[in-house]
Chain A
């Protein structure tokens, strides 16, 4: 798979995971968005949750693939930009809290109510922060995660 196709798939995955994540709040029906032809599914909490889970698995796969490949083969030649570090950290935080959310929903797991609230609030907060940061990077034309050009590591 070429890098361009992978990048496009990554963006599509992130878009739909953000959309189905937002759909977990009861806002799309309230604001008539799910009344738009073709968007009725956004008001189905179970369906959007399942899509969110499935895309979550796809996102984790992609992120772990990229991280492993970067650490093993490109760490010496490609340097993460400051904005890239922030976004990668926020992705990690969203995924980490999301995984906790999946764990807490397992039938044989019962977490303390305060822990449940903290997981939900942090997942939501990190997702919003990631969205704001990504949008800012896009507007400022700094959407690349890496420093311009290749950075040769001094041995």
Chain B
């Protein structure tokens, strides 16, 4: 397993180093996020035409979130049935940064794509997209995941049992599991649960304190912008309209709070990037919870229909018994 970021040229590395040093000299000019929106979800805009793949965001994420990473104790409990339950242990592979792991919540995908006769070298920071209606949180049977009012979807590591249902139902299979930690160790470690699921929490604690998420703060190229979703979408459309670019994340899975803009169509990028476990694609994604939304209407109508049917039945019963009494 490689621990080296792919697609980082020496030229880009030096460019990033220079820009990073310059950024360190500048005061933090970006506005506080916490107070930016009390009523609207916060979203991020990623202009991937700017990303040089320097990996500063990946390192920044690791440094800031290191205290949240799991510290499992070994040996792990034997989990039954042993032929089916797999141990997922990343604790000895903490340096892996070319995919998502419980110890790496952000990585960079790279692709070379020819579009309109031009070769584009594209780098794409990948992490949880923080869906507006997240299936990971909606379908967690244990209440271990939820979306905050500010649009951040979190998995609570002190509650999660590590069943990995969130990873299965996530269209991008983002959350990653670490065995041997969490609540399941105190319940039925042999027969239920398998650790804790981890993913980007968009530095919720830093946002609560009015700071930027680490990946945004350390980026030397200002790839990311954060703010109320309507403003972020307006910026994304402005960029797309002005340059003939493409947008990903606005409609995917019913809408996410991570909006990518790219000079290259996303279907070409999706074909060019390395995909697999911990390496999400950029495919079109229909709204995973759309059918549930329709069925919710049936749930809303059901009690009224039941009462109406009950009244009709009771009416028949009462009128027939009244007739019976009259006949007597």
State yes or no: do A and B come from one complex.
yes
Which positions in A face B, CB cutoff 8 Å?
24-27, 29-32, 45-46, 49-50, 53-54, 56-58, 60-69, 72-74, 99, 102-107, 110-113, 116-121, 124
Which residue of A has the minimal Cβ distance to B255?
A107
Given A116-B146, A117-B156, 17 extra CB contacts under 8 A: A24-B141, A25-B141, A27-B192, A30-B85, A31-B81, A46-B169, A49-B292, A50-B292, A53-B295, A57-B298, A65-B310, A67-B306, A68-B311, A105-B292, A119-B143, A120-B143, A121-B143
Are B303 and A61 in touch, CB under 8 angstroms? yes
Are B295 and A50 in touch, CB under 8 angstroms? yes
Interface string of B285-305 (1 = CB under 8 A from A): 000110111011011011101
Find residues 96-142 in chain B having any chain A CB closer than 8 Å to their own CB: 132-133, 137-142
Nearest CB on B from A11, distance (A): 17
What residues on A are CB-neighbors of B156 within 8 Å? 113, 117
Q: What is the CA–CA distance of A40 and B215 in the complex, to the nearest angstrom?
A: 41
What residues on A are CB-neighbors of B192 within 8 Å? 27
Nearest CB on B from A57, distance (A): 4
Q: Does B17 contact A (CB under 8 A)?
A: no
What residues on B are CB-neighbors of A26 within 8 Å? 163-165, 168
Which of B154, B165, B254, B307 lies at the interface centre, i.e. has the most chain A CB atoms within 10 A of its CB?
A: B307
Q: What is the CA–CA distance of A32 and B306 in the complex, to the nearest angstrom?
A: 38
Nearest CB on A from B317, distance (A): 4
Are A69 and B141 in touch, CB under 8 angstroms? no
Interface string of B307-328 (1 = CB under 8 A from A): 1011101100110000000000
Are A68 and B310 in touch, CB under 8 angstroms? yes
Q: What is the CA–CA distance of A49 and B116 in the complex, to the nearest angstrom?
A: 44
Nearest CB on A from B209, distance (A): 18
Give which listed residue, A45, A64, A112, A120, contacts B307 with CB less than 8 A: A64
Are B306 and A68 in touch, CB under 8 angstroms? yes
Chain B contact residues (Cβ within 8 angstroms of A): what range?
Answer: 35 or more
Knowing A68-B310, A110-B148, the reply to whether A61 touches B305 (Cβ < 8 A) is yes
Question: Can you identify 11 A-B contacts, CB atoms within 8 angstroms?
Answer: A24-B139, A30-B85, A31-B81, A53-B292, A53-B295, A57-B298, A60-B299, A61-B302, A105-B138, A110-B149, A119-B143
Q: Does B144 contact A (CB under 8 A)?
A: yes
Q: What is the CA–CA distance of A120 and B317 in the complex, to the nearest angstrom?
A: 39
Q: Does B78 contact A (CB under 8 A)?
A: no
Which positions in B face A, CB cutoff 8 Å?
81, 84-85, 132-133, 137-144, 146-149, 154, 156, 159, 163-165, 168-169, 192, 254-255, 288-289, 291-293, 295-296, 298-299, 301-303, 305-307, 309-311, 313-314, 317-318
Are A54 and B298 in touch, CB under 8 angstroms? yes
Q: What is the CA–CA distance of A112 and B148 in the complex, to the nearest angstrom?
A: 7
Are A65 and B143 in touch, CB under 8 angstroms? no
What residues on B are CB-neighbors of A57 within 8 Å? 295, 298-299, 301-302
What residues on A are CB-neighbors of B291 within 8 Å? 46, 50
What residues on B are CB-neighbors of A74 within 8 Å? 317
Q: What is the CA–CA distance of A58 and B303 in the complex, to the nearest angstrom?
A: 9
Are A72 and B141 in touch, CB under 8 angstroms? no
Give which listed residue, B163, B164, B165, B318, contacts A72 with CB less than 8 A: B318
Are B133 and A113 in touch, CB under 8 angstroms? no
Are A73 and B314 in touch, CB under 8 angstroms? yes
Are B159 and A117 in touch, CB under 8 angstroms? yes
Knowing A58-B302, A102-B299, the reply to whether A69 touches B313 (Cβ < 8 A) is yes
What residues on B are CB-neighbors of A30 within 8 Å? 81, 84-85
Which residue of B has the minimal Cβ distance to A109?
B133
Are A72 and B314 in touch, CB under 8 angstroms? yes
What residues on A are CB-neighbors of B313 within 8 Å? 65, 68-69, 73
Which residue of A has the minimal Cβ distance to B310?
A68
Are B310 and A45 in touch, CB under 8 angstroms? no
What residues on B are CB-neighbors of A25 within 8 Å? 141-142, 163, 165
What residues on A are CB-neighbors of B133 within 8 Å? 105-107
Are B139 and A32 in touch, CB under 8 angstroms? no
Give which listed residue, A67, A103, A120, contacts B310 with CB less than 8 A: A67
What residues on A are CB-neighbors of B137 within 8 Å? 116
Are A56 and B141 in touch, CB under 8 angstroms? no
